């Protein structure tokens, strides 16, 4: 890329109505042409095309090439001069409703109790409000696909609110309709497996399409009975889907498992016959040494959420060892109650640095490996790597365009390192899902951002007061405030 290109306005987006010239052959017609950018393909060869272009037709990528495209007639053209063009970021683990709990349980010993008190106020409408804000935050960072684990069903239709927001957003998602059913969870949040299966059938019939997939989830191995865990796995198998579980999520779960079932959570999953390549396991932090090999041998999909581990002072899973042994590892932000944000760039950076601390090796991992974990490998963890996660012909046109004229990304001699290690506040100028532009000039064209923020503030305020936490949750936990 020419040096003076970095000084240009990041994007110039124009709509071509027609040029009045000769009729363009069908195979040269396109819905969208992204051109003149630095294209990081994440294809099997990991090609970087500088400059390069991406051609979109019928919502899918039909060509990715180097240089200047010629002969195409495109309805939309995005000039990505002075920008990097990436496959949309894939978030392998999340809780979309939790932005309404953001900050409310930080440094609290009874954090789970506070969150459950708040969750009693999560109606379908509030779940939709929460998910809209989280999706907005994600798409602004360049995330196009997200996972969702929804496990609080005090209001039985709250999952519908989450799905409604996803449909509205235009983004892609894998939604795990979760459940708890043993005495470690308050009875008002416990459900019967048969009831949950009926709800899974209902949700799948209502929402499953090429952008949204409903899957099953027993919330954790320790908060569900054995029959519930097996029932959730069996529902997924019957529908040829993956299924989700929080597995060995922290030191406390490891201690609970050793005390109650006499082994680690991964070993317990093996005992139940549910450990396998269809399992998407979040966290895998509280592992016994021998359980690392088990996850690899059984090809388990692991959603690694480094910020949640740091926040809780938890154990760091050996993600490179898991990969070498055969596990599939992708990165997740986790929800805003246990991470506080939805920044995938921060997640990538800390994923690498935490491994270096654990193994006392300053050269362990790389920016390239981190970007893989947040794109093609996260897509693989969600079972979507044949559809998204890289810029290749035949895949959905899920694309993020990141402007390089941001101070923390300059100068760009080693751009990928800047993106991963300097990108704490990196935002996208354009985001596209299945050929549809969702973000232009750094702003959502789907959501009214000011309205979404105002609704979320109002919903959080109402839920805090309804939960009787109005005097406990203040601007600061320890400093006085005056009005």
Domain-wise residue ranges, the chain? 3-87+389-442, 89-381
Task: Please tell me the distance from the alpha carbon of residue 398 to that of residue 384, in angstroms, as a whole number.
Answer: 12
Read off the pLDDT of residues 255-283 as tens digits, 9 standing for 90 and up. Answer: 999 999 999 999 999 999 999 999 999 99
Counting residues of the chain whose pLDDT is more than 90, the rounded percentage is 86
pLDDT for 11: 38
pLDDT for 411: 93
> Phi/psi class of residue 305: alpha, beta or left (left: φ > 0; alpha: ψ in -120 to 50)?
beta
pLDDT for 200: 98
Adjacency order of strands within the sheet including 212-218? 89-91, 143-150, 172-179, 212-218
Q: What integer best gives the mean pLDDT of the chain?
A: 92
pLDDT for 105: 83
Read off the pLDDT of residues 231-245 as tens digits, 9 standing for 90 and up. Answer: 999 999 999 999 999
Please tell me which residue, 136 or 1, carries the higher pLDDT value. Answer: 136
Task: Please tell me the distance from the alpha carbon of residue 476 to that of residue 140, in angstroms, as a whole number.
Answer: 28
pLDDT for 14: 32
pLDDT for 102: 94
Q: What does DSSP assign to residue 356?
A: H
Please tell me which residue, 14 or 454, carries the higher pLDDT value. Answer: 454
Band (24; pLDDT cuts 50, 70, 90): very low
pLDDT for 13: 33
Band (69; pLDDT cuts 50, 70, 90): confident
Assess contact for 55 and 30: CB atoms under 8 A.
yes
pLDDT for 365: 97
Instruction: Return the CATH number of 89-381, one of 3.40.640.10, 3.40.50.920, 3.20.20.140, 3.40.50.300.
Output: 3.20.20.140
Q: Can you give the pTM of this predicted structure? A: 0.93
Q: Is the pLDDT of residue 107 over 90?
A: no
Instruction: Return the CATH number of 3-87+389-442, one of 2.30.40.10, 3.40.50.12780, 3.40.1380.10, 3.40.50.2300.
Output: 2.30.40.10
Q: Is the pLDDT of residue 444 over 50?
A: yes
pLDDT for 25: 58
Residue whose C-alpha is closest to residue 185's, from 268, 98, 246, 264: 246
Q: What does DSSP assign to residue 440?
A: E
Task: Please tell me the distance from the alpha carbon of residue 295 to that of residue 333, in angstroms, as a whole number.
Answer: 21
pLDDT for 109: 78
Assess contact for 459 and 126: CB atoms under 8 A.
yes
Q: Is the pLDDT of residue 375 over 70?
A: yes
């Amino acid at each position: 890329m020419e040096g003076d290109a970095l000084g240009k306005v990041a994007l110039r987006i124009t709509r071509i109505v027609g040029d009045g010239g000769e009729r363009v052959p069908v195979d040269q017609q396109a819905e969208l042409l992204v051109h003149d950018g630095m294209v990081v393909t994440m294809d099997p060869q990991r090609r970087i095309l500088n400059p390069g272009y991406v051609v979109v037709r019928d919502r899918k990528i039909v060509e990715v090439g180097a240089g200047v495209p010629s002969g195409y007639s495109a309805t939309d053209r995005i000039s990505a001069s002075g920008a990097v063009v990436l496959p949309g970021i894939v978030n392998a683990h999340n809780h979309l409703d939790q932005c309404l709990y953001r900050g409310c349980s930080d440094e609290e010993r009874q954090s789970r109790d506070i969150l459950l008190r708040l969750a009693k106020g999560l109606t379908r409408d509030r779940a939709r409000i929460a998910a809209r804000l989280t999706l907005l935050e994600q798409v602004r960072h360049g995330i196009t696909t997200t996972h969702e684990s929804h496990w609080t069903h005090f209001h039985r239709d709250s999952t519908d609110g989450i799905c409604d927001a996803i449909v509205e957003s235009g983004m892609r998602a894998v939604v795990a309709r979760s459940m708890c059913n043993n005495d470690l969870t308050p009875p008002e949040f416990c459900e019967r497996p048969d009831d949950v299966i009926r709800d899974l059938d209902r949700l799948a019939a209502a929402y499953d399409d090429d952008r949204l997939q409903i899957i099953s989830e027993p919330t954790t191995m320790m908060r569900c009975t054995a029959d519930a865990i097996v029932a959730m796995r069996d529902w997924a198998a019957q529908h040829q889907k993956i299924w989700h579980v929080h597995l060995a999520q922290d030191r406390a779960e490891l201690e609970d498992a050793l005390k109650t079932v006499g082994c680690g959570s991964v070993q317990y999953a093996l005992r139940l016959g549910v450990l396998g390549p269809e399992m998407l396991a979040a966290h895998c932090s509280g592992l016994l040494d021998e359980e690392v090999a088990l996850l690899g041998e059984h090809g388990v999909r692991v959603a690694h959420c480094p910020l949640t581990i740091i926040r809780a002072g938890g154990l760091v899973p050996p993600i490179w060892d898991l990969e070498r042994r055969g596990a599939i590892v992708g990165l997740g932000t986790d929800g805003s109650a246990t991470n506080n944000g939805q920044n995938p760039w921060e997640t990538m950076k800390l994923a690498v640095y935490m491994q270096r601390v654990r193994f006392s090796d300053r050269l362990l991992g790389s920016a390239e490996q981190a970007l893989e974990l947040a794109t093609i490998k996260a897509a693989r963890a969600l079972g979507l790597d044949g559809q998204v996660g890289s810029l290749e012909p035949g895949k959905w046109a899920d694309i993020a365009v990141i402007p390089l004229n941001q101070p923390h990304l300059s100068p760009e001699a080693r751009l990928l390192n800047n993106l991963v290690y300097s990108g704490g506040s990196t935002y996208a100028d354009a985001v596209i899902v299945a050929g549809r532009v969702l973000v232009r000039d750094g702003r959502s064209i789907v959501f009214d951002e000011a309205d979404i923020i105002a609704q979320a503030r109002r919903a959080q305020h109402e839920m805090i007061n309804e939960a009787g936490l109005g005097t406990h949750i203040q601007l600061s936990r320890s400093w006085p405030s005056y009005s």
